[in-house]
Amino acid sequence: MELRVLRYFLEIARHGSFTKAANLLHVSQPALSKQIMDLENELEAKLFIRGSHSVSLTEDGFLLKKRAEEILEISERTRSEFSNRRDDISGEIYIGAGETNGIRAIADIASEIRSKYPDITLNFHSANAEDIMERLDKGLLDFGLIIQPADISKYDSLTLPSKDIWGVIMHKKSRLASKKTIKREDLLDEPLIMSKQISRRISNKGGLAKWLGPNMGRYNIVARYNLLFNASVMASKQMGYVIGLDGIVDTSPDSVLCFKPLMPKLESEMGIIWKKERLFSPQAKLFLTKMKEYCEK
């Protein structure tokens, strides 16, 4: 399986057309078709459903698309790491991060590093803890910034000194907007917009899942989200109350939204994680050194 052929396959998948892909790749359509047929024979799988004017991916095609993107990303990272093996520190650092105030610490450190080493590039991937850990395991990320609680026993980690505060984001005209804090019983009869990760009980026994209680079915969940900004838009339309973290979306005096902390108060630690015994590039080592210095202050 050649990287070139995987690039061909992805180009066809993106455009849904052998003709468009052939034009963009500057290869003939018959040659492109033969490469894909050989790939299908090699994998013993049909990758495309061929129509009269377009093609679409089969189930096997979707699987290969995901794997091909990962393979090509790792390939590009490897090429970049070897091309940047010089005395000066340069190259790319790959960081996965959830929506958390901890990103401010990352940004401070990134700014400091870039001021001294302008040839370093930081690549950020926004995702939840599950996705970040999966990408760490596959070697697609150097570091992950996650919100606790989460099972990180198989990783090395640093705990950031600051914490995230949980609460409810709502329209200022909402019934609960006059309250200073929000208790669990306040939410039982209200339309809630909940994190997919929490509503699927992915979290362990601590954190927000514990605060909400054992019976998630008691709550009226009208929508689920994985990006808090998108959920805040729904709250601005008075669709429901968003359970989320403070400081991520605009709840300033000029905003139609407000934030009310939970009671009892609920805070979550933030951690930087990475694979144990990972062989870091010089730029990733530098980032980790700066993170350790930050956490020790």
Q: What is the structure's pLDDT at 203? A: 42
pTM of the model: 0.69
Q: What is the DSSP string of the chain?
A: --HHHHHHHHHHHHHT-HHHHHHHHTS-HHHHHHHHHHHHHHHTS--EEE-SS-EEE-HHHHHHHHHHHHHHHHHHHHHHHHHT-SSS--EEEEEEE-SSTTHHHHHHHHHHHHHH-TTEEEEEEE--HHHHHHHHHTTS-SEEEEESS---TTEEEEEEEEEEEEEEEEETTSGGGG-SSB-HHHHTTSEEEEEHHHHTT-S-SSHHHHHH-S-GGGSEEEEEESSHHHHHHHHHTTS-EEEEETTSS--STTSSEEEEEBSS--EEEEEEEEETT----HHHHHHHHHHHHHHH-
Q: Write down all domains in the chain, each with its CATH number in brackets.
A: 3-81 (1.10.10.10), 90-161+269-296 (3.40.190.10), 163-266 (3.40.190.10)
Among the residue ranges 57-66, 118-127, 131-140, 197-206, the one predicted with the least confidence is 197-206
Q: Over the stretch 146-198, which tens digit does the pLDDT of each residue have?
A: 988 888 989 999 999 989 999 999 999 999 999 999 999 999 989 999 988 76
Most confident of 62-66, 255-259, 277-281: 255-259
Q: Over the stretch 76-89, which tens digit does the pLDDT of each residue have?
A: 777 766 665 555 67
User: Omega before 118 cis (within 30°)?
Assistant: no
* Whether the Cβ atoms of residue 47 and residue 60 lie closer than 8 Å to each other: yes
For the residues 203-217, what does the mean pLDDT come to? Answer: 72
Q: Is the pLDDT of residue 202 over 50?
A: no
Cα–Cα distance for residue pair 27/49, rounded to 1 Å: 21
5: left (phi over 0), alpha (psi -120 to 50) or beta: alpha
Q: What is the structure's pLDDT at 201? A: 46
Q: Over the stretch 12-51, which tens digit does the pLDDT of each residue have?
A: 999 999 999 998 888 998 999 999 999 999 999 999 998 8
Q: What are phi and psi of 264, to 5 degrees?
A: -60, 150
